Amino acid sequence: MHNRLTKLIFSFFTLLIISSNAAAEYSLNMTRGVTPISRDIYDLHMTIFWICVVIAVLVFSVMIYAIIFHRKSLGCVPAKFHENTTVEIIWTIVPVFILIGMAWPATKVLIDMEDNSKSDMTIKITGYMWKWHYDYLGQEVRFESNLATPMEQINGREPKGKNYLLEVDNPLVLPINKKIRFITTANDVIHAWWVPALGIKKDAVPGFANEAWAIINKPGIYRGQCAELCGARHGFMPIVVIAKSEFEYEKWLKNQKKK
Amino acid sequence: MSEEHHHGPKKGITRWLFTTNHKDIGTMYLWLSFIMFLFAGSMAMGIRMELFQPGKSLFEPNFFNQLTTLHGLIMVFGAVMPAFVGLANWQIPLMIGAPDMALPRMNNWSFWILPVAFSILASTLFMEGGGPNFGWTFYAPLSTTAPTTPSSTDFFIFSVHLMGMSSIMGSLNIIVTIFNLRAPGMTYMQMPIFVWTWFITAFLLVAVMPVLAGCVTMMLADRHLGTSFFSAAGGGDPILFQHVFWFFGHPEVYIIILPAFGVMSEIIPTFSRKKIFGYHSMVYATAAIAILSFTVWAHHMFTTGMPVIGEIYFMFATMLIAVPTGVKVFNWTATMWKGAMSFEAPMLFAIAFLIMFSIGGFSGLMLAIVPADFQYHDTYFVVAHFHYVMVPGAIFGAIAAVYYWLPKWSGKMYSEFLSKLHFWLSFISLNLVFFPMHFLGLAGMPRRIPDYALQFADFNMICSISAFVFGLSQIFFLFILLKTIYSGKEVREKKTWDGAEGLEWTVATPAPYHTFSTPPKVVPLH
Amino acid sequence: MIQISNYKKILLIFFSIIIFTSFFYLYFFIDLKANNLFISYIILFIISITGYIYILCKQKIYRTILLIISFMSIFCFMLVPIYDVFCSITGLNGKIDISKFGTYNASNKGINKSRIIAIEFDVTYNKNIQLKFKPKHYEIKLRPGEIFHTSYYVKNLTKKEIIIQAIPSIVPWIANKYFKKIECFCFETQTLFPNEETNMNLSFYIDSKIPNTIQRLTLSYTLFNVSNKTF
């Protein structure tokens, strides 16, 4: 009874894991995103994931084999061995090489990610309790971005909209195919600016400035949330980025400057 | 040496208030930890009730934050740590052939500080402004000088100081006991692995609890003495808080898991009827994990704007801890291999530990990869990771230990059927709670939010329902324990489990109030 | 009765006087700012307590514990100057610019004409500080080695006196080392009367040794209200 149940449960989880890649549309997996870095991150994530799956399958099959076949109830007599230096050295050294194999591509992506030079424009982002301020440095355009979901939806008095809790009154509008530098800081406590599609998550620390960059390759609307507990309405200060073509962006910017 | 007078323990409440007996104190720690486990568990039930559906259900967001904070604090400091200290108190003297702990009166005080500390912490919920609402990691300045920091924070700080004192005294006791009271013939390399893991854990505790104390004292100073440790205004840095906290915090999670590793190293050999594979490398691997745990703290801080060199170093160091941990998992597997296994309740929990803790370890390895961590950090992916290593890790370790040693402690056998039911209910429900959280995190759901966007609704509902089942299973566990203690089948064999080795299995069942008043003869096992 | 030699008795009396008078000192002179006399007295007080206990405790174990505790306490207090020395040697403390009052060092090989660095000036308000805070220049282009003078305009918009402090932060962080301030209002508290406005000067140059990977840096000031001294 034990081995069948265990096998059943195990196959369920294996299926779940394998199906995760295919089920990306059901939001089971990380987004591939729309920037070179977000795509690199996704590739790294999948690589590490599959390496872990392979190791897990190897190790767990040994365990499950032992559970099924090395039982007292089957009349097994326990073996006497309790050490084997060669094997122990092998299974200490081999994981080190696997880890080096994982760390090498990760380091490359990391160095790329942290190279904020040669940017085309800078956006200064300030986290407040509980909203974001955006400042297009050098353009004299600055505004607040608040959650736009009405309280009636939150309290359940109205049906919830499609972008429940992920909509704002003034989204951040950005051009595509330009290297955009983001500077994050905060007004009061630590917040974090996170847009999964851009592959950016940076803490916004009061009194300090942090840097991140992105080149958005596809126009569209990308949503994110605050990713550092900042008080009661931490879950109610989303981020909306609208990426427009250069021409549309210039039009929008000109409009903003008039206000 | 005259015969022990068989006067037995005192009767009534004074027995428990003034006891210096390691068995009594162990029992009190275990019951305290279970009560705290149920209390923190009810906080979790509150969280899952609020997260059952999108939209505001039962609680104001500020109260929800208090629930998450207290759930974390009480589970870590009130449920898991005291449970393992209770196991240490019961088992270490029995396993090394000592009559009691080396410092019995300090042992008593280490315990009795805790109910005071937790009463203070629980009472903050009823203070004006509410209880702590800044997460169990209480980052500054949210926990020091934010507009929403409650005034009860100072009581929280006091409570943390008290818990720290208790842990430090308890650890010193364990270290001194193991140094000095081993029976003749019980050399260091003959000690059971559980004793080794607690020995190393005790050093970790003594090293990092003072760091936590320093951290909360700096918080107190920032709040009331006009200092600015964590405020840029006076030349300080909120990130300093994170460095100091995580310098404590990372060894803390190893403090939580190492004793559970020790329990596994006792249970798996017993039920495989085979000696633990690679005793020496198990000891060295545990020591390596402990030493490495001091060098990786900033992997909790990758998004704070660390220099690239720092990120690269911490990534490598964190990945390195996978090596000794892997060695331990391989050794346990090799212990099972070609053994003659039987699957009583302790073994079921132990096998679940092996598989589930490894899954938690894999998600930990994924988190170590810095660029990927930028997408995982502060999402439910992290919640899934640490719940996998804590619940089927530490908690199952404690439950397995209780089922394993309860017959020796009480002379009563638990019902195998009921305990297996408890196991399957817990195992299935916990996987249904925490596995979907991996997907929630990957799909973009942040941590510590009382309400969420619609695409996260389905998985959250599954998590919530399964969480209620898991919670009920632990009430069921309480029922099993009480039933066993009061009306369980009596056992009198010294060696309750036929594959068991070790000095604790040479004393009578139930263990007499005073054991090893004369040192035993130690048969070398390794 | 403890047998103490006459010489030690005199020492004990001396120590007792110091410890006794310290209570009066604390009571009457608590408002005295820490100065050399005060610090010397405190050191004398600590030595007295230590000596007192040392003489009275004969057993080696108590004396050893006393020595260890004294050493630990002295080490803790010595950490303040030790940190200063450590930071100035390693240059790690990039935020608090030690060359704040430094002069332009002509031996920095003069102006590097081959490179241009863009510098952005930015402001952040902390909490709900009611001020107007604007840089005179928003973005400039500068060659390493060239001195630039700018200022920040600040106006108190409230009807109360306010004490402010501006904390700088430079991104990328690595540029901190190369951003040499000659005149700066960083970390200096400034008192502003109601509706008072002023210009705070900032003069700096970029060290010519700045790496080629940096072409743009942003200097962001966060303005804090430190009137109540609760930060």
Which one from B447, B448, B494, B526 is the annotated catalytic residue? B447
Cα C205 to Cα C142: distance, rounded to the nearest angstrom = 9
Contact C172 A210 (CB under 8 A): no
**In the prediction, which pLDDT does A227 show?**
97
Q: Please tell me the distance in Å from B179's CA to the nearest CA on chain A.
A: 27
| Whether residue A135 sits in one domain with residue A48 | no
Annotated catalytic residue: which of B23, B161, B328, B377?
Answer: B328
| B412 classed as catalytic | no
Record: contact A154-B281, CB cut-off 8 A: no
Query: Which of A70, A95, A113 lies at the terminal end of a domain, its last residue?
Result: A113
**Active site (annotated) includes residue B201:** no
CA distance B390 to B41: 13
Question: Is A134 in the same domain as A202?
Answer: yes
pLDDT confidence of residue C3: 67
Band (C93; pLDDT cuts 50, 70, 90) = low
d(CA C107, CA C194): 45
Tokens at B254, concatenated: 């190893």
Kindly state whether residue A81 falls inside one of the protein's structural domains.
yes
CB contact under 8 A, C95 and B235: yes
CATH number of residue A132's parent domain: 2.60.40.420
Q: What is the pLDDT of residue A1?
A: 43
Residue A198 lies in a domain: yes
Predicted confidence (pLDDT) per residue in B334-371, tens digit:
999 999 999 999 999 999 999 999 999 999 999 999 99
Whether residue A170 is found in the same domain as residue A61: no
Contact C173 B226 (CB under 8 A): no
The answer to whether B135 faces chain A, any CB pair under 8 Å, is yes
Q: What pLDDT does A3 receive?
A: 57
| Catalytic one of B33, B149, B166, B270 | B166
Q: What is the pLDDT of residue C18?
A: 80
Same domain, A86 and A205: no
Q: What per-residue confidence (pLDDT) applies to C101?
A: 46
Nearest to A209 among C138, C213, C218 (CB): C218
* Residue B300 known to be catalytic: yes
Cβ–Cβ below 8 Å for A181 and C167: no
Cβ neighbours, 10 Å, residue B262: 28
pLDDT-flagged residues of chain A (< 70): 1-27
* pLDDT tens readout for residues A1-25: 455 555 556 656 665 555 444 444 4
Token readout for B75 is: 């589970």
Is residue A125 located within the same domain as residue A109?
A: no
Residue C36 has pLDDT above 90, yes or no: no
Examine the domain organization and report whether A152 and A222 are in the same domain.
yes
Touching chains, C (3+ CB pairs < 8 A): A, B
In a domain, A67, yes or no: yes
**Which pLDDT score is estimated for A106?**
95
Specify burial of residue C20 (Cβ count, 10 A radius: 0-12, 13-18, 19+): exposed
Backbone angles phi, psi at B148, to 5 degrees: -100, 10
Contact B233 C174 (CB under 8 A): no
Residues A149 and A201 in one domain: yes
Catalytic residue among B23, B71, B408, B412: B71
The predicted structure's pLDDT at residue C107: 45
d(CA C92, CA B63): 41
pLDDT at C94 over 80: no
Q: Among A113, A147, A165, identify where a domain stops.
A: A113
Q: What is the pLDDT of residue B3?
A: 46
- Say what the pTM is: 0.91
Residue A204 covered by a domain = yes
The answer to whether the CB of B376 falls within 8 A of the CB of B444 is no
Looking at the structure of chain A, the number of domains it has is 2
Question: For residue A60, what is the domain's CATH number?
Answer: 1.10.287.90
User: Is there a contact between A234 and B237 if contact means CB atoms under 8 Å apart?
Assistant: no
Residue for token digits 């323990």?
A: B9
Q: Which of C96, C126, C127 sits opposite B235 (nearest CB)?
A: C96
Judge whether A149 lies within some domain: yes
Residue C92: predicted pLDDT? 65
Regarding whether A98 and A48 lie in a shared domain, the answer is yes
Q: Which of B147, B226, B307 sits opposite C229 (nearest CB)?
A: B226
Nearest in space to B392 (alpha carbons), one of B360, B421, B363: B360
pLDDT at B244: 97
| Cα gap A246→A215, rounded to integer Å | 12
Query: If you write DSSP's letter for every residue of B407-436 in order, what string do you get?
Result: HHHHSEEPPHHHHHHHHHHHHHHHHHHHHH
**C214 to A207: CB separation less than 8 angstroms, yes or no:** no
Contact call for A189 and B330, based on CB within 8 A? no
Same domain, A247 and A127: yes
- Contact residues, chain C to chain B, C-beta under 8 Å: 95-96, 126-127, 165, 167, 169, 173-174, 187, 222, 224, 226, 229-231
Whether residues A230 and A163 share a domain: the answer is yes
* Residue in A82, A91, A129 nearest the CB of B330: A91
Contacts of C13 (CB under 8 A, 6+ apart): none
Contact B234 C222 (CB under 8 A): no
How many Å lie between the alpha carbon of C103 and the closest alpha carbon of chain A?
A: 27
The token duo for C159 is 């009807």
pLDDT on residue C112: 75
Active site residue B387: no
Domain boundary among A82, A113, A144: A113
Three-state secondary structure call for residue C200: strand
pLDDT at C100 over 50: no
Cβ pair C79, B214 in contact under 8 A: no
Q: Please give the residue range of the domain that contains residue A176.
A: 121-258
- Is B136 a known active-site residue? yes
- State how far the alpha carbon of C109 is from the alpha carbons of B56, B65, B316, C105, C209, in Å: 65, 57, 40, 9, 9
pLDDT in tens, B104-139: 999 999 999 999 999 999 999 999 999 999 999 999
pLDDT of residue A22: 43
In a domain, A4, yes or no: no
Q: Is B237 a catalytic residue?
A: no
Residues A160 and A58 in one domain: no
A135 and A77 together in one domain? no
The C-alpha of A246 sits at a distance from chain B's nearest C-alpha, in angstroms, of 27
Cβ-Cβ contacts under 8 Å for B93 (sequence gap 6 or more): B22, B99, B100, B101, B177, B181, B515, B516
Say yes or no to pLDDT of C2 above 80. Answer: no
Spell out which residues of chain A touch residue B273, defining contact as CB-CB under 8 Å.
72, 78
Angle (nearest 5°) at CA B378 between B372 and B380: 90
A23 domain-assigned: no
Cβ-Cβ contacts under 8 Å, A79 against chain B: 274, 337-339
Q: Residues in chain A whose beta carbon is closer than 8 A to a beta carbon of chain C?
A: 115-119, 122, 124, 126, 135, 137-138, 181, 183, 185, 187-188, 206-211
Q: CA of C126: which chain A residue's CA is closest?
A: A187
Of B50, B100, B222, B504, the catalytic one is B100
Q: Cβ of C126 and A115 within 8 Å?
A: no
pLDDT for residue C34: 59
For A205, the closest of B304, B341, B454 (CB atoms) is: B304
Contact A209 C215 (CB under 8 A): no
Residue A25 lies in a domain: no
In a structure prediction context, what are the per-residue pLDDT tens digits for chain B, which is 526 residues long?
Answer: 444 455 677 788 999 999 999 999 999 999 999 999 999 999 999 999 999 999 999 999 999 999 999 999 999 999 999 999 999 999 999 999 999 999 999 999 999 999 999 999 999 999 999 999 999 999 999 999 999 999 999 999 999 999 999 999 999 999 999 999 999 999 999 999 999 999 999 999 999 999 999 999 999 999 998 889 999 988 899 999 999 999 999 999 999 999 999 999 999 999 999 999 999 999 999 999 999 999 999 999 999 999 999 999 999 999 999 999 999 999 999 999 999 999 999 999 999 999 999 999 999 999 999 999 999 999 999 999 999 999 999 999 999 999 999 999 999 999 999 999 999 999 999 999 999 999 999 999 999 999 999 999 999 999 999 999 999 999 999 999 999 999 999 999 999 999 999 999 999 999 999 999 999 999 888 7
Give pLDDT tens digits for C38-71. Answer: 777 777 888 888 888 888 888 888 889 888 888 8
